[in-house]
């Protein structure tokens, strides 16, 4: 099955000993904003601990992600304290932090296959058609 190429880079780097200059770091923070800056899927796929600031919207592929398994949750009410705690915890528990980073990458590799994207699109097109009384097979 096809998987989006940029998402495969960390996986290929680990399994095939590829040496590619990919932006990495111990921590990545994703904050939803009024404008588009960087895609959430690329942050998840970087093998770093992902910190997600609570959002009221979710991409179709992030709904099943598990906090502390695939990412570190950050509250909107205590952002600074939550980020400081997460960084201190990650620095003190580097093996567990690496597992969270790898868990997010593995989640994206497994769940963002083009087949699942097409299934998601077909589901929503079917729902829209039913709303407007158009039946598709």
Structure tokens at 9: 């880079």
Assign 90 a pLDDT band (cuts: 50, 70, 90).
very high
Angle between helices 94-111 and 79-92 (to 10 degrees): 110
Q: Could you give the CA distance from residue 100 to residue 105 in angstroms, rounded to a whole number?
A: 9
User: Higher-confidence residue: 42 or 89?
Assistant: 89
Residues 113-136 have pLDDT tens digits of 778 778 878 888 888 888 888 876
Residues 51-73 have pLDDT tens digits of 988 887 777 778 889 999 999 99
Angle between helices 5-16 and 94-111 (to 10 degrees): 130
Q: If you average pLDDT over residues 87-92, what whole number do you get?
A: 93
pLDDT of residue 32: 76
Cβ contacts of residue 64 below 8 Å, gap of 6+? 111
Rounded to two decimals, the pTM is 0.67
66 touches 7 (CB < 8 A): no
Q: Could you give the CA distance from residue 62 to residue 6 in angstroms, rounded to a whole number?
A: 17
Which neighbouring-strand residues pair with 53? 74
pLDDT of residue 4: 41
Question: How many residues can be counted in the chain?
Answer: 137
């Amino acid at each position: 099955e096809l998987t989006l190429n940029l998402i495969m880079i960390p996986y290929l780097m680990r399994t095939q000993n590829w040496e590619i200059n990919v932006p990495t770091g111990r921590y990545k923070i994703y904050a939803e904003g009024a404008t588009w800056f960087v895609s959430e899927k690329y942050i998840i796929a970087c093998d770093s601990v992902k910190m997600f600031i609570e959002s009221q919207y979710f991409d179709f592929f992030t709904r099943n992600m598990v906090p502390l398994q695939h990412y570190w949750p950050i509250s909107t009410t205590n952002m600074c304290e939550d980020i400081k705690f997460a960084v201190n915890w990650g620095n003190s528990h580097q093996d567990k932090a690496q597992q969270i980073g790898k868990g997010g990458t593995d989640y994206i590799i497994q769940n963002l296959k083009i087949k699942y994207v097409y299934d998601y699109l077909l589901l929503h097109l079917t729902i829209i058609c039913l709303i407007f009384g158009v039946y598709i097979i």
